[in-house]
A and B are shown apart, each in its own frame.
Chain A
């Protein structure tokens, strides 16, 4: 199908975009790379009166190093992260996450800010930026504000953005040398949304036991969730010896599901999440410093 008619606006500045959104009100939607919005428009599941295309705003594209981290413009594409055209504050984590999003032809257009604003519970960036405790900068008619990435998603496909606000940038503190990251996505087919997505960060002691574990899960609830009981369970253990059975009690406690639940689907889902956590741990890699990716624009 084809989209219904809409008024199209392509501002060149953030201030212009925000003024347009404030003036147009509830009938307007923000268009980023369009890789989630366009299928909705084509199927006429949504019929906005106006589209405000923010991909013409040059200042939103690209990334630059800031003290202790990297600032990513909202219109930075998944491909730019995948290909190392921007620095990787996750020491390889961001590039891995980006490479798993959709297909190449989707990653060439889809954007970081769009993914955050769209707040798909199964998307990569909300859970990755939550795990990294990133800060999101948004701009609206009343000015600029910053909030933790963990607080931006408010529900499935619902973000904490006001109708006149757009995501401007995401700032991520660089993971220190010595820290490890792991990401695993379980999905039905290549390019599909995750049925489970685990992101784990940890240190190791001299004997390879896990310390300072941070574990986040996507596609399990309406918004990314932290798994504190599983973090505790993993602490002091060696990643090598962990299987699904070992991790399952922690994940069950964190998700409030019991492995003996009468609902087959709930039990299956729990096991998928536990297996995804195990694979993220098993394939974890040490942080590599991101020397590459300088000079790809400056938001």
Chain B
């Protein structure tokens, strides 16, 4: 069983890809599906550049085997859509929250998760939430400003809170929790 054929739904499209069992989710996304927006930095779970959403939850693409994702719904930075994602992209651009851009995909996915969970209410909370994403340009001030700005707009939006996807907010159960 050195090869596996996980069935994945990636950014809305179904794929069944046969890969060596040792293939990480991040490598499958990049090398087999051409989704090179997901970046691999440390490959030991420290830098956060490879963070993607699996079934609505952020995971390390480098610490997740593709084989374990059979049947999963995966969202990469390329497929991050909706009002909160648009607000975050605009805020990142407006605040200059990226320099070289290497960490940006992971930052956007983590920021999206923070905003959707209403876990970006203060600069302190945002800094704590970004603890698992490194920016080696050290552009953290602008990142925190951008996320605070997008979170503020999202919080002011009527109905957003109740309209979040299942499993993306604190306290909500997710179908996979019951698997």
Contact = CB atoms under 8 A, between A and B. Distances in A.
Contact of A53 (B68, B131, B179): B68
Interface in B13-30: 20-22, 24, 27
Contact of B62 (A42, A108, A189): A42
Contacts of B43: 1-2, 42
Interface residues of A, number: 44
Interface string B146-158: 0000000000000
A176 interface: no
A79 B54 CA distance: 14
Contacts of A297: 177-179
B2 interface: yes
Contacts of A5: 2, 20-22
Interface in A87-117: 102-106, 108-109
Contacts of A296: 173, 177-178
Contact of A7 (B1, B27, B48): B1
B59 interface: yes
B65 A38 contact: yes
A192 to B, nearest CB: 9
Interface in B39-83: 43-45, 48, 51, 54, 57-60, 62-65, 67-68, 70
A140 interface: no
Interface in A55-112: 55-56, 58, 61-62, 77, 79-80, 83-85, 102-106, 108-109
Given A2-B22, A9-B1, A105-B60, A39 B45 contact: yes
B137 interface: no
Nearest to A86: B177
A225 interface: no
A83 B171 contact: yes
B16 to A, nearest CB: 16
A8 B27 CA distance: 17
A51 interface: yes
Contacts, number: 118
A193 to B, nearest CB: 12
A103 B131 contact: yes
A84 B27 CA distance: 33
B132 interface: yes
Interface string B123-155: 000001101100000000000000000000000
B113 interface: yes
A62 B132 contact: no
A34 interface: yes
Main SS class of interface, A: loop
Nearest to A76: B177
A87 B2 CA distance: 39
Given A8-B1, A84-B171, A85-B173, A55 B68 contact: yes
B44 to A, nearest CB: 4
A245 interface: no
B4 interface: yes
A34 B64 contact: yes
B110 interface: yes
Given A3-B22, A9-B1, A62 B60 contact: no
Nearest to B23: A2
B104 to A, nearest CB: 16
A85 B110 CA distance: 21
A9 B67 CA distance: 9
A10 B132 contact: no
A6 to B, nearest CB: 6
A190 interface: yes
A240 interface: no
10 contacts: A5-B21, A5-B22, A31-B68, A53-B65, A61-B177, A105-B58, A109-B59, A109-B63, A189-B131, A191-B131
Interface of A: 1-10, 31, 34-35, 38-39, 41-43, 51, 53, 55-56, 58, 61-62, 77, 79-80, 83-85, 102-106, 108-109, 189-191, 295-297
Given A2-B43, A7-B1, 13 more contacts: A5-B2, A8-B2, A10-B67, A34-B68, A39-B63, A42-B63, A62-B178, A80-B177, A83-B171, A104-B110, A108-B57, A109-B59, A296-B178
